[in-house]
Amino acid sequence: MAFNKFREPVLSQYNDEKTDEGGSGTAVQETRPKLKKPPLYKVILLNDDFTPMDFVVEVLMRFFVMNEEQATRIMMHVHTRGVGVCGLFSRDVAETKVQQVNEYARRHQHPLLCTMEEA
Ligand code: TYC
């Protein structure tokens, strides 16, 4: 606890001190903001035997703002390893991406599947 020239307690700018004696004999419980960082979610693409490679590359470019080189690298990773991460997003954004990819694949009659999990 810091004091000013009147020997009054100066509160921390960040309000992160747990307890102190304010000089009055009264214990002060300063509130610590109980804010947790919201979790991030991995959006994951799954391999299958039928979706054309070109279509997967197009999906990655369209919904994940990748250039053709990045999209091809992720597509080949999924093709050879079975799964791959397209990106990290807040829960809302991840849910929207998953929905957009799955709908787009279905509309084009491909079995391509996208899912998400907490990072
Ligand atoms: N395995 C597919 C093929 O050989 C290509 C593919 C890659 C499909 C990635 C899905 O998420 C995927 N045509």
- Per-residue pLDDT tens digits for 35-94: 999 999 999 999 999 999 999 999 999 999 999 999 999 999 999 999 999 999 999 999
pTM of the full structure: 0.74
pLDDT of residue 32: 79
pLDDT interval class at 99 (50, 70, 90): very high
Considering only CA atoms, which of 40, 112, 119 is closest in space to residue 83? 112
Taking CB atoms and a 6 Å cutoff, what residues make up the pocket around ligand 1? 45-49, 51-53, 56, 75, 78-79, 112
Three-state DSSP at 106 gives helix
Q: What is the pLDDT at residue 8? A: 46
Residue nearest atom 4 of ligand 1, based on CA coordinates: 49
Q: Which long-range contacts (CB under 8 A, 24 or more apart) does 91-99 make?
A: 91/38, 91/39, 91/41, 94/41, 94/42, 94/43, 97/43, 97/63, 97/64, 98/43
Residues 6 or more apart whose CB falls under 8 angstroms from that of 58 comprise: 71
Predicted confidence (pLDDT) at residue 1 exceeds the cutoff of 50: no
Q: Please give the number of the atom of ligand 1 that sits closest to the Cα of 112.
A: 10
Query: pLDDT value at position 95?
Result: 98
